[in-house]
Amino acid sequence: MRTELVGKAEYIMKCPYCGHPDTRVIDSRPAEENNSIRRRRSCDVCGKRFTTYEKIETIPLIVIKKDNNREQYDRAKIEQGVLSACYKRPVPASEIQKTIDEIELEIFNREEKEIPSSKIGEIVMDKLMALDPVAYVRFASVYREFKDVNTFMSELKQFLE
């Protein structure tokens, strides 16, 4: 199905059977867990009925990995990292979910089609620092790939300052 712009802000849906531009919406209702709108339409010329769906168009976010490979953004990876960092910490689940939502919001508010994984890691560390210091150090130790105790201690000293 295709819409055509008519006038300034009026859209017309052509009939898929006869191609006539005059169709009427008979019924509208939410679909796909309120992520789209299902519309039943009727053609004024041939009388046939058809269904259209209206959805928000999303542009996938691509993550540039350390090795320059690209993959589609996956919220589950951020959730897994934050949950691992907060494991056995006195952080309420609601605060963890709120933090994950804030991280994702900050990522998508950049309005970029591609984002380096290093930038995502920095955003996660900033949010974890505010959430729980131990969770921050846990995440940083994996993310920054601390090779020895001295590297770990220098990061810890920066945190404490």
Tens digits of per-residue pLDDT, 70-94? 999 999 999 999 999 999 999 999 9
Other Cβ atoms within 10 Å of 23 Cβ, number: 23
3-state secondary structure 39-70: EEEEECCCCCEEEEEEECCCCCCEEECCCCCE
Other Cβ atoms within 10 Å of 86 Cβ, number: 23
State the pLDDT at residue 11.
62
State the pLDDT at residue 17.
94
Tens digits of per-residue pLDDT, 8-21? 334 678 899 999 98
- Is a pLDDT exceeding 60 seen at residue 31? yes
Q: Is 32 exposed, middle or buried (0-12, 13-18, 19+ CB in 10 A)?
A: exposed
Domain boundaries, the chain: 3-55, 62-160
Query: Using CA atoms, how far apart are residues 145 and 140, in angstroms rounded to an integer?
Result: 8
Distances in whole angstroms, Cα of residue 151 to Cα of each of 10, 16, 99, 134, 145: 62, 65, 27, 16, 9
State the pLDDT at residue 102.
93
Query: Using CA atoms, how far apart are residues 141 and 122, in angstroms rounded to an integer?
Result: 13
Q: Is the dihedral of CA 138, 139, 141, 142 positive or negative?
A: positive
Nearest CA to 101 out of 138, 56, 71, 131 is that of 131
